[in-house]
Amino acid sequence: MIASAPSFDGPVVSVEGLTVRAKQQRLLDRVTLDFAGRTLTAVVGPSGCGKTTFVRTLNRMTELTPGLRVEGTVRYLGQNIYDRSVNPVVVRRRMGMVFQRPTVFPMSIWENAAFGLRLVHATEDEIDAAVTEALQRSGLWEEVRGDLDRPALSLSGGQQQRLCIARALAVRPRVLLLDEPTSALDPAATQRIEATLQRLKEEIVVILVTHNVAQAARISDRIAFLHSGRLIESGPTAEMLERPREALTAQFITGRI
């Protein structure tokens, strides 16, 4: 199942000296950070600090923007994902991504969840099992199990977002990347997603970008604080909130920046 790879005991994702440049600017500056299995790490910082860029380098989505240059290494289970022999398509299967706004496809709920599996021509049985499992893991199963052929667009915003999570989970990635997934949702929906994430972190690596410190406080195990493209500080949540080492961190936590 989703146990840690037995032959590897380093961090699942390891970032070293990651620098991202656009024209003359540095969007990320020599960030070094590790993500271990079974943790939920919240990446926080003021707007423009580079947290979205950061998370997008983890699954090579930065390649979609022309003009971005990536330096440094990002390792997934020890392998540099930016190595020439690695196909981004493969990387993205191991790291699921959920965006800020729900991005369900114009298809049925079932087809949405099955999307990733259809790409690799999985058998109907495999799809069946995986979709059911994914919907359960994302907390959506009970609400939709009766009618999976309904168009996904008929779901509420919070449900759509959970469908996006399910869709990402269906291909059984080890890492789940989320970029402010609840900022477009109401508090009730937000709460359900947070609950889902807390369950998921028991199984996989969850990396959550959020501008909401309270949310980070609620559900994360570790917090990484970025500012102007630099990693200022990172550590266990409790420590970061109560005894931050850097002044900048303290200012952010308390809302001054």
Partner 1 sequence: MTVAIVLTLLGASHFQNFGSAFFGFSYGSWGIMTFVVGSFLTSIPALAIAMLVGLGVAIASTTYLPKVLAAWLDPFVDLLAGIPSIVYGLWGLLVIAPYFGTTVFPWSTGHLSWIPGFAPAKFAPTPGIGTSLALAIVILTLMILPITTVLMRDALKSVPRDLWESGLALGATPWEVTRRVALPYAKRGVWGAAFLGFGRAIGETVAVFMVIDQIERLPVNIYSGTSTMASLIIGTFDNALLTNSYGHEYLHYLAELAIVLLAITLAVNVAGRWLIRRTYTEVAGL
Partner 2 sequence: MSGALAVPRPVGLDDLTRDRTGHVVRRTWFDRAMRWLLPLLYLVAILPILDLVYWVARGALPSLSLATLTTNPSPGVGSGGGLYAPLVGSVAILAVATGVALALGFLGGLATAEYLDERSAGIVRVTANIMAGTPSIVLGLFGYIAFVTFFGWGPSLAAAGVTLGIFMTPYIFRAADLAYSSVPSHIREAAVGAGARPIQYLLRVASPIALPQVLSGVFLAMAIGVGETAPIYLTTTAVELPPLGLFAPASALPLYIWSGFETGLVLPSAIALAYEAAFLLLVIVVGLNILVRLIAARARRRLEGLFQ
Q: Residue numbers of the site for partner 2 (CB under 8 A)?
A: 5, 7-8, 10, 76-79, 81, 83, 85-87, 89-91, 93-94, 119-121, 174
- Say how many Å lie between the first and final Cα of the chain, rounded: 42
Q: According to the binding rule CB under 8 A, does residue 92 interact with partner 1?
A: yes
Return the number of the residue (64 or 188) whose C-beta is nearest partner 1: 64
- Euclidean distance between CA atoms 185 and 159, whole angstroms: 10
Pick one of 74, 109, 135, 168: the residue that binds partner 1 (CB under 8 A): 168
The neighbour count for residue 32, using CB atoms within 10 Å, is 13
Q: Which of partner 2, partner 1, none does residue 164 bind (CB under 5 to 8 Å by kind)?
A: partner 1
Q: Which of partner 1, partner 2, none does residue 168 bind (CB under 5 to 8 Å by kind)?
A: partner 1
Pick one of 37, 45, 50, 116: the residue that binds partner 1 (CB under 8 A): 116
In terms of Cα–Cα distance, which of 219, 226, 176, 212 is closest to 194?
Answer: 219
Q: In whole angstroms, how close is the CB of 56 to partner 1 at the nearest point?
A: 9
Residues 6+ apart with CB under 8 A from 230: 28, 29, 30, 31
* Side chain identity, residue 218: R
- Euclidean distance between CA atoms 212 and 181, whole angstroms: 11
Restricting to residues 119-148, name those near partner 1 by CB under 8 A.
119
